[in-house]
Structure 1
């Protein structure tokens, strides 16, 4: 690594830790600065002038630089790669969202993220029907060359990755089979949950990748799970919810996808009798909590029932998903009629 390349990486790593700036403000700083040293000598007032708004954030250039040097040591030691928003390798669809990550840290191959991907999400406490349906969906998708994005959590996420890996193992041409990417809610050097470490390794061995926007050593704080979900939604043109109760993390992902003008679909397993009983219980709990002022009203609106009422299709399998994607939204004729299932909510 040349000294120039090292300084540029350190500049990007310093900026990645300046969480008080947006991605586009960080890019503006890179554009206005000639070197890493020029950033280090800036005061917070001078930074505010460059970005065009006043910031009261605590800024200590030396402290941030020391942390960036530790970051660079770790990513070099553990062979972690990084890609900037402006790099050609940065996933094109992710670049289109309103709040894209400034920097992505990854292990494995990210080239396939420029091809057709479907995000598959759902609850950790899945039903057996939802688990089976998830594996079948991801398996069929990857055998067809479609790539699967999920979050490496227990439950539906794990089943989505397992379905993709099953297709890879069965494929006679490993180059044609779809891959799977796991987006992490913490640093890439600290895989969580620990029970999925072997799964993460299998993902890498199959030609997939692990992705995070967080610098080395950063823990998976609760709010970062929601931030992670926007990346899962942003990497794909379509998000498929296998099973998710109202207000859950998976429904946050669906909400992000809609906000990015992406497709959102629900697997029919989300409306099985057992799934609907769970959703009904959660819906009542959210309503009670909202009455006490302890839950945002937005969570109540993150309800599969409401998404379907607004036009989200219900699909039965991967082939059904492709049929829906090939039809105009107003003319879709998926195998499971939404109106028939909606009557079961009443």
Structure 2
């Protein structure tokens, strides 16, 4: 099967299963053009992939994330950088407000630092605030993260961000697709599907993090709330409401690991190895 054929099929308004069946029928380029595929878009994707920094996987291939098969309408095409995680690896979604306060930012950094040290892959977005603070911790400690994007991988907000070069980026969009609201919502669905647990660090009532929790619960995933997010104030109103509805409250990674029966080889402590804001940390390895 030619890559150009699969890229053309990926443009069509069909379900992933319908696209897969169409691919097996080996359609001609003229058939695909009649169905709505645009040759210019196919060529743009080919040229972007030819740069060698991005890879691609299609629905039905062995390396396609198994978790996405649970979705009602999984993406047929995924562009990504570095290595995709496997289903056997531990993955934790960390999410929260873009407008985190100092304690929220610090809590996100601490939790991600400890998660990475214990070989748990953090899934998050590139949004400022809670999500990006988690990425700072993983970049500082040279640990893995998966960043699910709400845009294509050729847009400036991706290519101009040096922080993202350290991580696996996943995008179901064409290279030049800009971030739009509906793409943010789709990103949340994919993020919660990848991770077995969703943690909300801090969120107001109107927050994408609450959409993540809805998606996670719909998929049968567990949702935890950081104890910091249960304080008073409007910035914590959304995360506090989750706790009031019965979501498990955790103080940090150690408690998550205990709830999930995950092994713990390293614990965060005061030290001088990592610095975030006014705080300094190191890791005590068992």
TM-score range, shorter chain: 0.7 to 0.9
Instruction: Give the count of matched residue pairs.
Output: 262
Deviations 1:312-331 (A, max 9, x none): 1010000111122249xxxx
2:211 equivalent to 1:252: yes
Give the corresponding residue for 2:265.
none
| 1:112 CA drift (Å) | 5.2
- Contact kept, 8 Å, 2:91 with 2:121, in 1: the verdict is yes
CA displacement at 1:306 relative to structure 2: 4.3
Aligned mates of 1:191, 1:91 — CA distance in 2:
26
CA distance in 2, matches of 1:97, 1:144: 29
Aligned pairs (5 A) from 1:59-78: 59=36, 61=37, 64-78=38-52
Aligned partner of 2:266 in structure 1 is: none
Aligned equivalents of 2:28, 2:83: Cα separation in 1 = 29
Aligned-pair CA distance for 1:78: 4.7
Task: Structure 1: give runs of 5+ residues left out of the alignment.
Answer: 44-58, 169-177, 281-302, 328-346
The structure-2 alpha-carbon separation of the partners of 1:141 and 1:244, relative to structure 1 and needing over 3 Å to count, comes to same
Q: Does 1:190 align with 2:147?
A: no
Is 1:10 the counterpart of 2:13? The answer is: no
Correspondence for 2:27: 35
Change (3 A) 1:239 1:39: farther
Task: Give the corresponding residue for 1:267.
Answer: 226
Partner of 1:233: 192
| Partners of 2:246 and 2:72 in 1: CA distance | 23
CA change 1:159–1:35 in 2 (3 A) is same
SS of alignment partner, residue 246 of structure 1: coil
Distance 2:222 2:87 in 1: 17
Unaligned runs of 5+ in 2: 263-286
Cross-structure match for 1:167 = 141
Larger radius of gyration: 1
User: Is the Cα–Cα contact under 8 Å of residues 231 and 240 in structure 2 kept in the other structure?
Assistant: no
Q: Hey, which of these two has a bigger chunk of strand by percent?
A: 2
Q: Give the Cα separation in 2 of the matches to 1:261 and 1:255.
A: 10
Q: Using a 3 Å threshold, how does the CA distance of structure 1 residues 238 and 193 change in structure 2: closer, same or farther? A: same
Residues 267 and 128 from structure 1, CA distance in 2 versus in 1: closer, same or farther, beyond 3 angstroms? same
Secondary structure class of the residue paired with 1:99: coil
Instruction: Give the drift of 1:305.
Output: 4.1
Out of 235, 240, 247, the residue aligned to residue 278 of structure 1 is 235
Distance in structure 2 (CA, Å) of the matches to 1:30 and 1:94: 19
Query: 1 or 2, which has the higher helix percentage?
Result: 1
1:318 aligns with 2:253: yes
**Taking structure 2 as the reference length, what is the TM-score of the superposition?**
0.84
Please list, as runs of the form range in 1=range in 2, the aligned pairs for 1:1-346 lying within 5 A after superposition: 4=1, 7=2, 9-18=3-12, 20-31=13-24, 33-37=25-29, 39-40=31-32, 59=36, 61=37, 64-111=38-85, 114-168=88-142, 178-192=143-157, 197-201=161-165, 203=166, 208-273=167-232, 276-280=233-237, 303-326=238-261
RMSD in angstroms over aligned alpha carbons? 2.2
Helix, strand or coil at the partner of 1:24: helix
